[in-house]
Amino acid sequence: MILRLPWLAGLLAALVLVPAVSFAAIPVYGAKVVRTYPHDRGAFTEGLFYLDGWLYESTGQNTRPALRKVDLATGKVAQGRDIPPVFFGEGIVAWKGKLIQLTWQNHIGFVYDLKTFQPLGSFTYPGEGWALTTDGQRIIMSDGSPQLRFLNPATLREVGPRLTVTADGVPVKNVNELEWVKGEIYANIWMTNRIARIDPATGKVVGWIDLSGLMRPRDVGHDPDAVANGIAYDAEHDRLFVTGKLWPRLFEIKLVRRR
């Protein structure tokens, strides 16, 4: 005898579908190298962006200069500025003729003239400073936690609620160097070779970029600190650049879907 229970069939179908939706794999992209450029292997890269044909880079570990304007083709420093050794240079961003730089654990950031690197002022913030980028309206800041902060570009004060970065519902730790790319926030995840593609409206990771294989351990002297860190985007020519701490090369890459 067969009992026909439509409600039971519907329930079983729902139970089958829920795991597929809730635990759907986040897309993973590989990095196809388009071009390779030289990079100062002594640079402990903490912040990076591209503007008007130049790379701008901020470095930690008292690397000198800690703030630098770099020729993309040669990797040579065209202009630089030191910061006092007590500060550990972190993320940078450009905003209306100014360059803004974080420091790691000093709770202070610096503002410079973008053209001359002359100091214009400073600002403070609670907690650590890791990275900066901008969506064109606000400055976005990471502090090593799963949360992203938003700053008013005029006052450099935090505004609005923070955004929690999650992957499949789990908060993502060690969110590091940031870059705004085509309406998404790209973020290096410290001590990994992965970049998270973050939806700025929800904080959800909508894709992973796997940089494994770009640099072999022997290329960086097996230094455990020599991890991927540094994302720059040339919006005019749709070019994406990546590098790492103490990496001797910088790469222009294209994303290739893996799964």
From CA 195, how far away is CA 11, in angstroms rounded?
39
- Per DSSP, the three-state class of 160 is coil
Residue 121 neighbours by CB under 8 Å, 6+ apart? 110, 111
Buried b (16+ CB within 10 A) or exposed e, 119-145: eeeeeebeebbbbbbbeeebbbbbbbb
Give the per-residue pLDDT at 6: 43
Give the per-residue pLDDT at 24: 55
**Do residues 8 and 138 make contact, with C-beta atoms less than 8 angstroms apart?**
no
Give the per-residue pLDDT at 4: 42
Give the per-residue pLDDT at 22: 32
Among residues 118, 3, 116, 101, the alpha carbon closest in space to that of 57 is found at 101
**Do residues 57 and 39 make contact, with C-beta atoms less than 8 angstroms apart?**
no
**Do residues 248 and 216 make contact, with C-beta atoms less than 8 angstroms apart?**
no
Give the per-residue pLDDT at 21: 33
Token pair for 19? 């795991």
Give the per-residue pLDDT at 103: 97
Backbone angles phi, psi at 80, to 5 degrees: -150, 165
pLDDT digits (tens), the chain, 259 positions: 334 444 444 443 433 333 333 335 899 999 999 999 999 999 999 999 999 999 999 999 888 899 999 999 999 999 999 999 999 999 999 999 999 999 999 999 999 999 999 999 999 999 999 999 999 999 999 999 999 999 999 999 999 999 999 999 999 999 999 999 999 999 999 999 999 999 999 999 999 999 999 998 888 888 899 999 999 999 999 999 999 999 999 999 999 999 8
Domains of the chain, earliest start first = 26-257 (2.120.10.30)
Residue with tokens 């790492």: 244
Tell me the whole-structure pTM to 2 decimals.
Answer: 0.90
Q: Environment class of residue 103 by beta-carbon count within 10 Å: exposed (0-12), middle (13-18) or buried (19+)?
A: buried
Give the per-residue pLDDT at 222: 85
In total, the chain counts a number of residues equal to 259
From CA 257, how far away is CA 183, in angstroms rounded?
19
- Per DSSP, the three-state class of 220 is helix
Greatest alpha-carbon pair distance for the chain in Å reads 87
